[in-house]
Structure 1
Amino acid sequence: MILPGSASQALAAALADATDEPLATVEYQTFPDGELLVSVDALAEETPERAVVVASTVTSDAHLELLQLQDAAREAGVDEVVTVVPYMGYARQDSAFKAGQPVSARAVAAAVSSGTDRVVLVNPHEEAIAEFFDVPCDTVDAASVLADPLPPKLADPLFLSPDSGAIALAETVRDAYGTGDVDYFEKERDYDTGDVEVSPSDAGVEGRDVVLVDDIIATGSTMSESIDVLHERGVGGVFVTCVHPLLAANARTKLASAGVDGLYGTDTIERDVSTVSVANMLAETL
């Protein structure tokens, strides 16, 4: 049985179709004091052998929903609980950046581990995050599906990652697309002002269609700066792809103002740009 968090209802439905498992209807309630309660009537009517919680933790409330869904399954006597976290919040704080700070990813992983038998993540910001879980944790690389919504005939395409560490992501999208070069942006930070200057490391971009590939777009600041640089250098078209389209605050406005010809993400975070689904990849892992 698939148990969806409120932020992952479309993906949960797609996963139910892909796995041929029943999809439970979950009621989400908020009390006047701000406390949350999830209710799964289907668990009162039937106790499945396995419950698959599908919940992107895009907010702190979504984290709590996930924990409650796990506990509801346990309370119903489900033999196996699998927790799919398509997008894991707090994952970018995978170390204490200064004294007195927590390792938030570790704290979240410990909480999730307490109510499940297995965890599945999609493109965590750092692979090492999987080691924080106290139960078996699998990671799914969904980057290849980002090639699907791209125009079929890009002009001499160049696939760019935000830095050298993420170039494998761009290579995966390029390989799935079938043609093109791969490069990455070099970043130079002015530690006095905090400004970041970005530029492609080697490849020329004039007249070429460029596909920017990232695991997550949060505020869109660095991405929009990258797009500005590309336009200054006479790029053809600019297409932005990411696994996790968080698009916080005014990120959409920043990207639109910078000038993009297409913006595509997956349904790990459900936005209007979530044009491709990771459901089939998750089904294979489950």
Structure 2
Amino acid sequence: MIVSGSSSQLLAAALADETGHELATATYDRFPDGEQLAAVPAFEGEEAVVVSSTASDAAWVELLQLQDAVREAGANEITTVVPYMGYARQDRAFRDGQPISARAMARAISTGTDRVVLVNPHEPAVAEFYDVPVTVADAAATLADPLTDLTDPVFLAPDAGAEGIAETVRDAHGAGETDYFEKRRDRETGEIEITPSDAPVSGRDVVVVDDIVATGSTMSEAVSVLRERGAERLVAACVHPVLVANATTKLRAAGVDRLIGTDTVERGCSVVSAAPAIGDALK
């Protein structure tokens, strides 16, 4: 039985199709005082797969409630799929007195599940914070599926840490070069400086690939440089299209011709699904 959080209903349905598992109809309500109540139908002696991205604090509460609800409903074994794990970038205390939020969240999830599946966590080390077995699913290759008409493409990562994802997308596409930008963040101001790579982009299609696009600031800087250097078409591709505030507008204004994301965070640009990668991880 697959049980979906309210923010992951399309992905849960796609996962049900992918695996052949039944899709439960969860309900999501609130009490008059604003407290949430996520509930599931009863079932006996089955494995429950709870699928819920945690892009908001409310989604975290809902996920913990769903884990508890499926246990109360009779599930013998619970697998929790976290397509997008919020707070995963806070994998260490950056200043004295700060929490390691990823660890706190991982421990909370661990209390209500038998195993966890994560999709392309921003910091792979967060898997070690869980107290139950963790499987990491890689959905990056699916970003190549819509890229059917590229001309002499270059796949660029915004920084060295994301070059592996760019290589995965390039390999899935079957042709092209990869490179990355140098990114430096000022510790005092938090401002990011993007230094262009040496890859020739004039007259070529460029796909800028990252695991997460949140505010769009880093990718917009990269895209603006590429546009100035004569790139033909610019595609922004990411596994997790968080896209807060004016991120989409910011990317378009910078010169992005097309924005592609998966359904780990369900947005208008979620044109490919992480369900096949998650299905493989569940086997």
Q: TM-score range by the shorter chain?
A: over 0.9
User: Do residues 229 (structure 1) and 211 (structure 2) align?
Assistant: no
Tell me the secondary structure at the aligned position of residue 263 of structure 1.
strand
Partner residue, 1:33: 33
Task: Give the fraction of aligned pairs with identical amino acids, expressed as a percent.
Answer: 63
User: Do residues 56 (structure 1) and 53 (structure 2) align?
Assistant: yes
1:194 and 1:4 mapped to 2: Cα distance?
Answer: 36
2:269 and 2:184 mapped to 1: Cα distance?
Answer: 30
Partner residue, 2:18: 18
Q: Which amino acid aligns with 2:151?
A: A
Matches within 5 A, 1:265-284: 265-284=261-280
Tell me the secondary structure at the aligned position of residue 221 of structure 2.
helix
1:118 and 1:189 mapped to 2: Cα distance?
Answer: 36
User: Do residues 125 (structure 1) and 147 (structure 2) align?
Assistant: no
Partner residue, 1:182: 178
1:145 and 1:200 mapped to 2: Cα distance?
Answer: 26
Partner residue, 2:248: 252
Matches within 5 A, 1:186-197: 186-190=182-186, 194-197=190-193
Partner residue, 1:206: 202
Matches within 5 A, 1:42-81: 43=42, 46-81=43-78
Partner residue, 2:86: 89
Q: Which amino acid aligns with 2:204?
A: R
Aligned 8 A contact 2:40 2:73 in 1: no
> Displacement, 1:196?
2.6
Cα gap change, 1:189/1:122 in structure 2, threshold over 3 Å: closer, same or farther? closer
> Displacement, 1:285?
1.4
Cα gap change, 1:71/1:209 in structure 2, threshold over 3 Å: closer, same or farther? same
> Displacement, 1:215?
0.2
1:190 and 1:15 mapped to 2: Cα distance?
Answer: 41
2:137 and 2:219 mapped to 1: Cα distance?
Answer: 24
The match for 2:99 among 98, 102, 121 is 102
Structure-2-length-normalised TM-score: 0.97
2:69 and 2:36 mapped to 1: Cα distance?
Answer: 13
> Displacement, 1:48?
4.1
> Displacement, 1:235?
1.0
Tell me the secondary structure at the aligned position of residue 224 of structure 2.
helix
Segments of 4+ in structure 1 off by > 6 A? none
Cα gap change, 1:158/1:65 in structure 2, threshold over 3 Å: closer, same or farther? same
Aligned 8 A contact 1:110 1:132 in 2: yes
Matches within 5 A, 1:136-147: 136-147=133-144
> Displacement, 1:199?
2.9
Tell me the secondary structure at the aligned position of residue 264 of structure 2.
coil
Query: RMSD in angstroms over aligned alpha carbons?
Result: 1.2
Tell me the secondary structure at the aligned position of residue 7 of structure 2.
helix
Aligned 8 A contact 1:106 1:133 in 2: yes
Gap regions ≥5 residues in structure 2: none
Q: Which amino acid aligns with 2:52?
A: A
1:273 and 1:183 mapped to 2: Cα distance?
Answer: 24
Tell me the secondary structure at the aligned position of residue 283 of structure 1.
helix
